[in-house]
Amino acid sequence: MLKLNPHLSVDCVIFGFDGQNLKALLTKRNIPDPENANKFITDYKLPGDFITDEEDLQTAANRILKELTGLTNIFLKQLWVFGSPRRINKERDINWLRETTGLPIERVVTIAYYSLIKIAESQQENANINNALWIKVEEISELAFDHFEILQRGLKTLRTRLQIEPVGFELLPRQFTLRQLQNLYEVILGRELDNRNFRKKILKAEYLVATDDKEKEVAHKPARLFMFDKDIYEKSEMRDLGFQF
């Protein structure tokens, strides 16, 4: 039996994109209503867990990701550490932690990770077993603990990285149209982009490669499919940032 460390947890902001919307995978809690013993309150939290005594932080985050999506070898990065002594300040959250883990919970520092996955590749049954749902990021206005703050930081980091690295490709299918790519940029940045300007800039990236294939089964004129070439990216000048000397 693995021993959980009651001082340290890992929480994961798992972003996914369904072609239209940026979503986050959240787990649903049913907790007793303190004002009515027969009722439950439903709320949502980021997927997370305490780490075991023998586990690396990244291993713990990967374990959670696999449990909820069935996926391994996924884009997963440290986001930030949330360590305020008052970060778990609601009695119902402390009670819930104590009851579900049986641990003597006091202060918990959480190491937040963020992950980018292709929703279509994740296993829906894994999500179901764990009471996890994909929810549109724009519709999330509150979460348990300080998880809304963690989600906001994940979003901010995703926006910044999108401008440095082609992280967006992690969220798209292997082949995609420029329209899908632009949709992705628009939902992450939270605003519409000018079509011409977007295409002009993005096509400068040598690692964005046109294929000979086109979209299938669409009502409009089928658009060309592109893909992301990791080899070219890794050698590419486009990785250069503002001041590359």
Judged by beta carbon, residue 111 or residue 132, the one nearer its own copies is: 111
162 binds its own copies (CB under 8 A): yes
Identify which range of 115-123, 139-147, 170-178, 192-200 contacts its own copies by CB under 8 A: 192-200
How buried is 66 (Cβ within 10 angstroms: 0-12 exposed, 13-18 middle, 19+ buried)? Answer: middle
195 binds its own copies (CB under 8 A): no
28 binds its own copies (CB under 8 A): no
Judged by CB under 8 A, the chain residues 199 through 218 that form the site for its own copies are 201-202, 205
243 binds its own copies (CB under 8 A): yes
101 binds its own copies (CB under 8 A): no
One-letter identity of residue 134: W
Residue pair 143/45 in contact (Cβ under 8 Å)? The answer is yes
Judged by beta carbon, residue 126 or residue 236, the one nearer its own copies is: 236
Q: Are strands 109-118 and 4-17 parallel, antiparallel or unpaired?
A: parallel
103 binds its own copies (CB under 8 A): no
Question: Measuring CA to CA, which residue among 174, 56, 67, 186 is closest to residue 122?
Answer: 67
Identify which range of 18-26, 63-71, 146-154, 232-240 contacts its own copies by CB under 8 A: 232-240
Judged by CB under 8 A, the chain residues 124 through 143 that form the site for its own copies are none
Distance CA 152, CA 15 (A): 12
Judged by beta carbon, residue 7 or residue 28, the one nearer its own copies is: 7
Judged by beta carbon, residue 20 or residue 160, the one nearer its own copies is: 160
- Residue from 31, 94, 103, 193 touching its own copies (CB under 8 A): that is 193
Q: Smallest distance, Å, CB 92 to its own copies?
A: 22
Size of the site for its own copies (CB under 8 A): 38
Q: Smallest distance, Å, CB 206 to its own copies?
A: 12
104 binds its own copies (CB under 8 A): no
Judged by CB under 8 A, the chain residues 51 through 90 that form the site for its own copies are 51, 53-57, 78, 80-81, 83-85
Chain positions contacting its own copies, by CB under 8 A? 5, 7-8, 51, 53-57, 78, 80-81, 83-85, 107, 109, 111, 160, 162-164, 185, 189, 193, 197-198, 201-202, 205, 238-245
